[in-house]
């Protein structure tokens, strides 16, 4: 926690520029806001661009929920060439002939990846093996066995297939490695490939129109930091997929104090957004079939 920093609450959807780590982008915006507490969710590779949700203050409590959200990417791949990292930042390690497939044939091949499958994470990833990041081992030239993980591809839309260039848009579940998907697509076509450009367009229900460029944020901070803070999205907008439950004053105080409360039965059970009468957001609760509402994440937002 920073000294002399201010309590700032809210979300900012940054259009991360290339050549910057996700944490570096977070720290730049945190400094611009002079925010006491900050975090990000869904890291992007340094070379990747696009939506990086930055969470400040009480909004850091929604990071875990955004991490589970589905995502959409625009992907550009170079066929016929493999790199050690699976992207353009790596060194070329192999080449192969590229089959002459029509747009329709490429599209049919891509559609075969729609649905649920098991994916082996790449060595150049932040996953841990025996307490060490895989990319740390990879940089030492080590390769270890990785357990396949379930992923889901909801949609692939082919945008361009010309020569050694393949461009498509993919909607996928959390934990999907697009670099690995590109390599798997090439393997199915009988060739090699690596990701040249990766741009994340959406996270959960947030769309590309919600993003802000870093240069815009820097300009706003220079002109009027308070206005920039006021423009932050409230934490509950990240949870619009949950149904909302409203409590009266007495039940709201108990919920905020960590106590379970009783609400009218008959609503869908599971995680819900909880509000005090008058629509003040209190937090995330878990609703049981019998109407018992238990606090799971209590928010202490300033009025």
**Would you name the residues annotated as active-site residues?**
45
Distance separating alpha carbons of residues 8 and 34, to the nearest angstrom? 8
Q: What are residue 153's DSSP bridge partners?
A: 115, 172
Give whole-number Cα distances, 207 to 53, 69, 72, 73, 203, in Å: 11, 13, 9, 11, 7
Q: How many CB atoms lie within 10 A of CB 181?
A: 25
Strand 280-287 relative to strand 292-298, pairing? antiparallel
Distance separating alpha carbons of residues 262 and 277, to the nearest angstrom? 15
Task: Assess contact for 93 and 84: CB atoms under 8 A.
Answer: yes
The dihedral formed by the CA atoms of 276, 277, 280 and 282, expressed in degrees to the nearest 10: 10
């Amino acid at each position: 926690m920073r000294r002399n920093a201010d309590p700032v609450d809210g979300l900012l959807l940054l259009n991360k520029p290339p050549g910057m780590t996700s944490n570096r982008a977070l720290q730049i915006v945190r400094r611009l806001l002079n925010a006491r507490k900050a975090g990000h969710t869904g890291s992007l590779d340094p070379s990747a661009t696009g939506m990086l949700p930055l969470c400040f203050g009480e909004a850091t409590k929604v990071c875990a929920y955004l991490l589970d959200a589905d995502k959409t990417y625009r992907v550009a791949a170079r066929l016929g060439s493999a790199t050690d990292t699976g992207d353009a930042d790596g060194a070329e390690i192999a080449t192969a002939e590229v089959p002459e497939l029509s747009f329709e044939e490429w599209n049919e091949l891509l559609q075969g990846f729609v649905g649920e499958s098991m994916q082996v994470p790449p060595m150049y990833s932040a996953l841990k093996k025996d307490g060490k990041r895989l990319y740390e081992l990879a940089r030492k030239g080590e390769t270890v066995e990785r357990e396949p993980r379930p992923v889901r591809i909801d949609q692939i839309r082919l945008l361009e297939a010309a020569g050694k260039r393949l461009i498509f848009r993919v909607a996928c579940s959390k934990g999907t490695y697009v670099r690995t998907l590109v390599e798997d697509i090439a393997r199915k076509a009988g060739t090699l490939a690596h990701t040249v450009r990766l741009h994340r367009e959406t996270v959960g229900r947030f769309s590309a129109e919600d993003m802000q460029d870093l240069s815009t944020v820097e300009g706003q901070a220079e002109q009027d930091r308070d206005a920039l803070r006021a423009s932050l999205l409230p934490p509950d907008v990240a949870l619009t997929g949950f149904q909302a439950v409203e409590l009266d004053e007495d039940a709201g105080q108990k919920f905020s104090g960590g106590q379970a409360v009783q609400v009218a039965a008959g609503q869908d059970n599971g995680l819900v957004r909880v509000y005090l009468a008058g629509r003040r957001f209190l937090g995330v609760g878990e609703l049981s079939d019998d109407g018992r509402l238990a606090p799971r994440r209590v928010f202490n937002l300033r009025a």
